[in-house]
Chains A and B, each alone.
Chain A
Amino acid sequence: MSEDLIARVTGVIAKTQKIPPESVTIDKSFEELKIDSLDGINILFALEGEFDLDIPDDAARGIRTVREMVEGIEKLLAAKSEAKPKA
């Protein structure tokens, strides 16, 4: 989990939730950040744009913390780069 990835994911969450970036830390739960289900899908939408990803519903379901979100994005990014033909 790179610092850069954490910063980008937490940045997207802060921007979407309209909360200060420093309040979104890796160990926070969505509950602590007052992220409800509708906020959650809005964050997923913004993350798809930020990372040029398709986040399937099944991958998104059950994510309750910032750490799980970063780990999920990391996994999808790894799968995406593997799927690309080698140069």
Chain B
Amino acid sequence: MNRRVAVTGMGAISAFGHTYPDLWSGLSAGKSAIRPLTLVAPGAVRFPNAAEVPDYDPLRYFEEKEAMLLDRFAQFAAVAAREAVRASGIEFSPELGERTAIVLGCSGGGKSTEDDGFHHLYALREPRVSPLTIARAMSNAGASRVSLEYRITGPVYTISTACSSANHALGQAFRMVRSGEVEVAIAGGSEAPLSLGFLKAWEAMRVVSPDTCRPFSRDRRGLILGEGAAVLVLEPLERARARGATIVGEITGFGMSSDAHHITQPSALGAARAMRAALVDAQLAPEAVGYVNAHGTGTLANDATEAEAIRAVFGEHAQKLLVSSTKSMHGHALGAAGALEAAATLGALQRDLIPPTANFTAPDPACDLDVVPNTPRAAQIECAISNSFAFGGLNAVLVFRKWG
């Protein structure tokens, strides 16, 4: 059994605001949500900017006692999942809950919870840490919370593959729905990495830009860290049509690969293999793809390598492709990145509007593609892919198709 898989709900909390419409209105206007970092003291890290979720008050979404049990990343997962489930119009009966999966990507887990505990231990020399530390910090806390809220009792798990986490999660969920293993899947990713200890680790890696994120630009200086979550509701197309659901778009393929090359340096070969695998899975010719939502981190190494991989996969058609990196606007939200980008890609197909690569200054001959610089582009696209390539050499690519 190979069923077509529809997306019938989307939710997102990002640097643009707490809802999917906030995300889309920002991306479709080509605005960047990269702003001064406020979650740590000014000057505490060398880079001044990030893509923080604005005006976030947990008590808007959770009772005080519930909020105590949930790290920021798990709260984001629940907020985005609620919006997605509401949009899908699905009511989960106990029977449907048993036939539903939740797969969420998360790279770091509850970093601020861990940081806070270690501060008490090492700096304040207290002999103990909060008994809630494990429950808050575990990377599956977001998926578990969503499972509790909707009483989802089918397969529920978290995938942690650094920057590819959410694409791997969406891909797994897509395959479970396609094969008939489950009836519905709630999938995406969440991340809240803007905690001092973790930011210091990123600072030491020297991949964060001192100003902003300029993917594919000649003068790009690195990535900008972001936070948030995006969640999609997936179900068989026939089920969605039968119940008269609003169909956002389809997921039609998923491909993965490992570079087995270097722990941090990207490989064009590995990236190309994942794109090819996704196209084969979708039974799609490269020429049928019109838009690539790039991994596009804005680091020197990623963008040139990704451009090389795109050229290898698409050949001459690469010159006709629209390729943009929405990380230039919502930042690099690590384990949530692929989910935010899936939401961006589905929005682009649905609204016939390609979100641009913002903050673009000058072309780099090593990234010689139409990167939709700075200005959104009206374009009716049938099929799109979204790339995620992680540290550790793990690549995951999704294929989307316009609905209607």
Residue ranges of A at the interface with B (Cβ–Cβ < 8 Å): 36-38, 41, 44-45, 54, 56-58, 60
Residue of A nearest to B265 (CB): A37
16 contacts across the A-B interface (CB closer than 8 A): A36-B262, A37-B264, A37-B301, A38-B262, A38-B264, A38-B265, A41-B205, A41-B206, A45-B204, A54-B46, A56-B46, A57-B46, A57-B210, A57-B221, A57-B222, A60-B206
B263 at the interface (CB under 8 A from A): yes
| Minimal Cβ-Cβ distance residue in A for B263 | A38
Given A57-B46, A57-B221, A60-B206: 14 more A-B contacts, CB < 8 Å: A36-B265, A37-B265, A38-B262, A38-B263, A38-B264, A38-B265, A41-B205, A41-B206, A44-B206, A45-B204, A54-B46, A57-B206, A57-B210, A57-B222
Q: Which residue of B lies closest to A55 (CB)?
A: B206
* Chain B residues with CB under 8 A of A60: 206
How many residues of B are counted as interface, with CB atoms below 8 angstroms from the partner's CB atoms? 12
Q: Is chain A's interface secondary structure helix, strand, loop, or mixed overall?
A: helix
Contacting A at CB under 8 A, from B256-289, are 262-265
Bound CA span A60–B206, Å: 10
CB neighbours (8 Å) of A56 from chain B are 46
Question: Main SS of the interface on chain B?
Answer: loop
Shortest distance from the beta carbon of A49 to any chain B beta carbon, whole Å: 11
Across the A-B interface, give the 4 residue pairs with the lowest CB-CB distance, nearest first. Answer: A38-B264, A41-B206, A57-B206, A45-B204
Contact between chains at A41 and B204 (CB < 8 Å): yes
Tell me the smallest distance from the CB of A18 to a CB of chain B, in Å. 16
Shortest distance between the CB of A12 and any CB in chain B (Å)? 16
- A57 CB contacts on chain B under 8 angstroms: 46, 206, 210, 221-222
Shortest distance from the beta carbon of B305 to any chain A beta carbon, whole Å: 12
* CA gap between A60 and B221 in the complex, in Å: 12
A36 to B171, CA, bound (A): 32
Question: In this complex, which of A37, A44, A56, A58 has the most chain B Cβ atoms within 10 angstroms of its Cβ?
Answer: A37
Q: Which B293-343 residues sit within 8 Å CB-CB of chain A?
A: 301
User: Which residues from chain B contact A44 at a C-beta distance below 8 Å?
Assistant: 206
Name the A residues within 8 Å of B46 (CB-CB).
Answer: 54, 56-57
Say how far B115's CB is from chain A's closest CB, in angstroms.
Answer: 20
User: In the complex, A57 Cα to B202 Cα: how many Å?
Assistant: 13
